[in-house]
Chains A and B, each alone.
Chain A
C-alpha cells in the first residue's frame, strides 16, 4: 500500500499570500497518477489537479500542481477567501487507492 504523508498539517496564511502544500509518497508514483482535492466544511471533496499537474475543469489558474516520483506539491499562488479549506492528495497508480491525511489552510 502506498502511504501518502502531507505536510504541514495546518497552514495559517492571509488572503493574497502564497500557499505551498506537500505530499510525499512511500514509494514512487512513476506515472504521476496523483490528484489533489479541496474540501470545504460540510461539502464533498472537489477535484483540483490530476496527473500531478493538470487542472480539472473550471479550476482557477492560481492552483498549480507539480512534482514527480515521491514528492508532489500543490501551490496556490494568491489565496482568495474561498480557498481556505482542507486539501488532500490521492494516488491512483495502485490498489488500494489511498489519500493523504490532509492539510488545512486556515486564515491567519
Chain B
C-alpha cells in the first residue's frame, strides 16, 4: 500500500523560508514522478511543482518559480519542497502526491499546513 507522510509545516513570517519533506513507502519511489499540490483554506487544490523519478526534470507553477525548489533523495525515499520568500498567499495545506507516469495524482499524503503570517 502506498503511504506518503509530509512533515515540516508550521507558522512562518512573510519573507521567511521553510522546507517540507515527504517520506514515501509501498512503491518503487525512484521510478515515479512526484508532485506537490496545495490547497488554500476554503479553496480548491492547486498544483505547485513536479519532479521526474530521477530528479532531472522539474516543473513549477508560475507563482512559485524562482522561490520554490522541488528535489528528491531516492536513497531515502524522500521528496522535498524548499520554499523561500514566502508570501501570505502561499498559506495552504501542502500535499505530497504520487503521479502515475506524468498523469493523474493517484496517491496523496495527509497534508501539512503552512500558515504564512506576521
B103: CB under 8 A from chain A?
A: yes
Are A50 and B106 interface neighbours, CB within 8 A? yes
B62: CB under 8 A from chain A?
A: yes
B46: CB under 8 A from chain A?
A: yes
B44-63: which residues lie under 8 A (CB-CB) from chain A? 44-47, 50, 59, 61-62
| Residues of chain A at the chain B interface (Cβ within 8 Å) | 33, 35, 37, 43-47, 50-51, 56, 88, 90, 92, 95-102
A-B contact pairs, 10 of them (CB 8 A): A35-B104, A44-B108, A50-B100, A50-B104, A56-B106, A92-B103, A92-B104, A96-B47, A96-B62, A99-B46
A96 CB contacts on chain B under 8 angstroms: 47, 61-62
B24 to chain A, nearest CB (A): 15
Are B109 and A44 interface neighbours, CB within 8 A? yes
**Given A98-B47, A99-B45, A102-B44: A92 and B108 within 8 A (CB)?**
no
Most buried by B among A33, A44, A95, A98: A44
> In terms of DSSP, what is the predominant structure of the interface of chain A?
loop
The chain B residue sitting closest to A6, CB to CB, is B44
Are B104 and A47 interface neighbours, CB within 8 A? yes
Are A92 and B102 interface neighbours, CB within 8 A? yes
B95: CB under 8 A from chain A?
A: yes
B31: CB under 8 A from chain A?
A: no
Are A45 and B108 interface neighbours, CB within 8 A? yes
Are B103 and A50 interface neighbours, CB within 8 A? yes
The chain A residue sitting closest to B50, CB to CB, is A97
Are A35 and B105 interface neighbours, CB within 8 A? yes
Instruction: Specify which of A33, A45, A92, A95 is in contact with B45 (CB 8 Å cutoff).
Output: A45
Are A44 and B110 interface neighbours, CB within 8 A? yes
Instruction: Specify which of A46, A99, A100 is in contact with B47 (CB 8 Å cutoff).
Output: A99
